[in-house]
Amino acid sequence: MSDQLQILNFINGQYAEPLSNEWLDNVNPADGQISGKIANSNSADVQAACAAASTAFDVWSNTTLEQRSSILMKIGNLIEVNLEALSVAESEDSGKPFARARDLEIPRAASNFRFFASAISQFASESHESIGLNAINFTLRQPLGIVGCISPWNLPLYLFTWKIAPALAAGNCVIAKPSELTPRTAGMLGEICNSAGLPVGVLNIVQGTGSSAGQAMLEHPEIKAISFTGGTATGEHVARVVAPQFKKLSLELGGKNPNIIFADCNYQRALATTVQSSFANQGQICLCGSRIFVEAPIYEQFKTDLVARTKELNVGHPSLPESTIGAMVSRPHYEKVLSYMGVAIDEGASILCGGGPATVPGYEGGFYIQPTVIEVRTNQCRMNQEEIFGPIVTLMPFDTEAELIELANDVRYGLSATIWTRDLDRTMRLSKKIDCGVIWVNTWLMRDLRTPFGGMKNSGVGREGGLEALRFFTEPKNICVAFEA
């Protein structure tokens, strides 16, 4: 093992070894080799981060809008300047194809900062005149103080900054923890913030596991809000710990999203996008359309074509431009995803293509899985009810719109749905009846950062994005002023 790579905490503007004196291995999923070590912080590290944030809050919450916005804009620009290095780190940490990190995800992290640098100036407070009573109400939107941001490994810097940028824009100081599986780009963000002139202590990054660093954040009394993205089971735990402390809480959790294809759709677009929505990032995007429902008249044709397109995908080392599918993030996750091949067989489903691990010559220790399409007989099976979070999709036909609505909603999740049809009336009927926070029609993963983002049911509580995020990270205070007529 090379001990060259040390991923440290970033507290009060400085990189620091963990006070816990504990370390974790940083593993490269493309070859299974240990590439460095990661600080595994505990409550002492979180306390140090909170002390720094507490001192910095007075300064940051009193910067002018123009200063704050200018620093956030610089952070976004510096992410772009460091695009290549950040993309290499992201790909090596997560196993995702380098091109995906460079072309989509790291640029989105830059956009997150630029977007909130500008959105904060549109964040108007409301006022209401109490007519006839000689009084006027106005609402101050004050920062909460110190807030905690906890993010997952699947879109590391993208989701980390999606929380941090609005929290900072609203005037808060932040304690942020990336996933222990993908700590590198979060670590690099500290230096970028220093170069952009962010005052020390405003953003503090603690590295480490959820049970140690994350739990300490949930429990710290000075952290006033938790913005969490991760699995539903973890979200439930977070909610239990945070509720008695009355911290503000936002939860963005798992999904089991329907991808619905009607016979009148633009067939080629639906097919090409379905390959993307099934297998992008090895199927490790909470928004992937993992349950594909196809209207009966085109079912057999779509099945044949989807399988053919899936077989054309190229599983390979993430650094190579020809690799469309990289490695799964970790050995435990790889094993969990592979175990669903056995579940499919036990449930009497048919594996149409894929169905097992993939071997990448020269990288036999890597965590590669073949993209897999499985035909299921019913929606009431584990394959269609549990979030697998890997390159496995299920396929089944439907006959009527009423049946489809039942199938789409017959799951405990409610994050997103995609509908492929040219019928506007049907689009509107389904959009109202499908219980998901995000619905795409004739597209997938198209994001406008001004729109509310989040899930219903077990997919989460609250919304991120645009003004919703700025509302979450501020406390509304109403002031009623009476005047003499």
d(CA 462, CA 242): 15
CA atoms within 13 A on the CB side of 124: 3
d(CA 243, CA 247): 7
Which residues, 178 to 197, sit near ligand NAD by CB under 6 A? 179-180
* Edge-first strand listing for the sheet containing 416-420: 350-353, 372-375, 392-398, 291-295, 258-261, 416-420, 438-441
Closest approach of Cβ 234 to ligand NAD, in Å?
A: 3
Regarding 289 and contact with ligand NAD (CB under 6 A), the answer is: no
316 near 328, Cβ under 8 Å? no
Closest CA relative to residue 258, chosen from 224, 295, 230, 220 = 295
Distances in whole angstroms, Cα of residue 343 to Cα of each of 118, 231, 355, 376, 381:
48, 21, 11, 11, 9
Q: Give burial (CB, 10 Å; 0-12/13-18/19+) of 153.
A: buried
Which residues, 201 to 240, sit near ligand NAD by CB under 6 A? 209-211, 214-215, 218, 229-231, 234, 237-238
Closest approach of Cβ 79 to ligand NAD, in Å?
A: 19
Closest approach of Cβ 256 to ligand NAD, in Å?
A: 9
Catalytic annotation present for 286? yes
d(CA 188, CA 79): 9
Closest approach of Cβ 219 to ligand NAD, in Å?
A: 9
Residues 242-281 as x/- pattern, contact with ligand NAD by CB under 6 A: ----------xxxx--------------------------
Residue at shortest CB range from ligand NAD: 210
Closest approach of Cβ 421 to ligand NAD, in Å?
A: 25
d(CA 424, CA 75): 42
Residues 372-401 as x/- pattern, contact with ligand NAD by CB under 6 A: ---------------x-x------------
All residues at 6 or more sequence positions from 300 whose CB lies less than 8 Å from its CB, including other chains = none
Q: Which is nearer to ligand NAD, 31 or 180 (CB)?
A: 180
Residues 154-183 as x/- pattern, contact with ligand NAD by CB under 6 A: x----x-----------------x-xx---
Catalytic annotation present for 252? yes
Q: Which is nearer to ligand NAD, 212 or 273 (CB)?
A: 212
Which residues, 100 to 159, sit near ligand NAD by CB under 6 A? 150-154, 159
Which residues, 453 to 482, sit near ligand NAD by CB under 6 A? 455, 459-460
Count residues binding ligand NAD (CB under 6 A): 32
d(CA 73, CA 116): 8
Active site residues per annotation? 252, 286
**Contact positions vs ligand NAD (CB under 6 A):** 150-154, 159, 177, 179-180, 209-211, 214-215, 218, 229-231, 234, 237-238, 252-255, 286, 387, 389, 415, 455, 459-460
